[in-house]
Every structure is written in C-alpha cells, then in structure tokens.
Amino acid sequence: MNDTQWLVESTALVKRYGRVEALRGVDLRLGAGQIVGLVGPNGSGKSTFLKVVAGLLHPDGGSVKVRGRSPGLETKRWVAFQPEIDHLYRWMTVQQAMELQASVVGDWDARRAAELLEFLNLHQQRRTPVRNLSRGMRARLKLAMTLSRNAPIVLLDEPLSGIDPPSRGRIIRALIGQFRTDEQVVVLATHEVAETESTFDRVVFLERGTVKIDEDAQELRERYGKSIQAIMEEVYA
C-alpha cells in the first residue's frame, strides 16, 4: 500500500498540552473497511488523537496524514468528527441543526438523514429546540448529524455517552447499518466496551499516550480467551 491508500496514517505522533504529553509517539495506520475500537483509561489520549486527525489540533512531533495529506481545510471534508462535547446551538430546532450541518458539509445524504432521524426516534422532535432535548436525545442528534455524511473517515468520541443502556443496541445497529465496509473507516473512542465490542473489527488500546495493543478484535479475544471488556478489566485495570 502506498501512502495515499491509508485513510489515516500517524507516525511517531506527539501532542503536548504545555508540559502534558498526551500522545507520545503514536504509530497507527487505518485503512477502509474497519470499525476500530479506540479504548483506554481516562486521559490516555483517545480524544486528542481524534482531534489531531480531525485537524483541530496540530501535532508537536511526528506526523499524521489523512489520505496522504496533512490535516487542514482540504482533509476536513473527508472526516466526519463527532466530538464528545455538546457543540449544538441550543436555540435551534432539531430540523434546523440538521439543515445547518447539511449546508456546511459537502457530503450530506438527505435520505440517510431522514432514516436516521426516524431510527433514532428523533423524527417527532423535529420542531423541538435543542435546549429542550434531554442529554440522551442530544447525543442521538449528534450521531444523526455525523452519520448522515458520506465521509470516508468517521470519528466518534464517546457517542453513547448519555444514551440510556436499553437504546444503545439500537444505536449500535444504526452504526453498523450505515457502515460501508469497502469505503469507510469508523473510529469509535469509547469506555462502553461491553456494549460496543461486537462492532469492533480491530482494537487499539492507548495507555498514557502510547499504543499498547493494536490487534484484530477476534484474534485478541481468542488470544486471551475472553471478551475485550474482560481483557480491559482484568489485564489492564
């Protein structure tokens, strides 16, 4: 594979916040056709990695390439990034938030957006202002806004945060349903490993800014003879 065939390639990637070294030489290559579970304890660098790939933070060392280019304006159109923070305008209705997103991204899929609103039980809330939505409903809206894009690189930072456990299965099915194996990579940064690991093709485990595990999800389960959740709890607690 040459450089441009990787959707994301980081080499010895370093990111610091003042004296805190959040990423300490991360080497990762992500190609199309995978859901990658990005896991690790609090502060291990998951969000920082996603933000660097999304072009929101600049590396302090090493490099990151998105389809062979340094992250910037050009690469942002290839990356659908759902941050953990709530970035929605409170005064907008659900419909207006979707329309705003549709107008600023170049790869909006209106049909999928309508399907996702229905699937995520938001279709009856179209005229509801964001400020009147519960935290879980806002999380669903963020997910709909992200997954309605046809971006080759989808980065989801704790997408299930705030969503009630019984609904998470539906959300995960939405994620798989929208996933196009031949074109996209989905990176799912999460602490909800038990609920999401069935979607993982590959697991990247970060610890203190370095990659401790980067392995096929099924091979990892077989190697330890337990679920990824159990591996996280027992081996890396």
Ligand X SMILES: Nc1ncnc2c1ncn2[C@@H]1O[C@H](COP(=O)(O)OP(=O)(O)OP(=O)(O)O)[C@@H](O)[C@H]1O
Residues that bind ligand X (CB under 6 A): 17, 20, 22, 40, 42-48
d(CA 113, CA 168): 19
Q: Which two tokens stand for residue 117?
A: 């609103």
> What minimum distance in Å lies between the beta carbon of 45 and ligand X?
4
**142 within 8 A of 159, measured Cβ to Cβ:** yes
Kindly state the smallest distance separating residue 204's Cβ from ligand X, in Å: 11
Q: Quote the CA–CA distance of 150 and 221 in Å, as a whole number.
A: 31
- Which of 132, 90, 94, 139 lies closest to 113 in space, CA to CA? 94
State the Cα–Cα distance between residues 25 and 209, nearest whole angstrom. 8
Instruction: Closer to ligand X by CB, 15 or 221: give it.
Output: 15
* Residue 149 beta carbon to ligand X: minimum distance, rounded to whole angstroms: 22
Distance CA 59, CA 27 (A): 13
Residue 221 Cβ vs ligand X, minimum distance, rounded to whole Å: 22
Closer of 25 and 43 to ligand X (Cβ): 43
CB of 57 to ligand X, least distance (A): 9
Phi-psi region of 32 (alpha: psi -120 to 50; beta: other; left: phi over 0): beta
Instruction: Using alpha carbons, select from 169, 189, 166, 186 the residue that is nearest to residue 178.
Output: 186
Helix (H) or strand (E) holding 66: strand 61-66
Question: Whose Cβ is closer to ligand X: residue 44's or residue 93's?
Answer: 44
- Nearer to ligand X among residue 48 and residue 178 (C-beta): 48
Cβ proximity to ligand X, 47 vs 148, nearer residue: 47
Task: Find the shortest distance in angstroms from Cβ 38 to ligand X.
Answer: 8
Nearer to ligand X, 24 or 149 (CB): 24
By C-beta, is 150 or 210 nearer to ligand X? 210
Rounded to 5°, angle at Cα 137 from 136 and 140: 90
Closest CB 152 distance from ligand X, rounded Å: 23
**How many whole angstroms separate alpha carbon 158 and alpha carbon 167?**
15
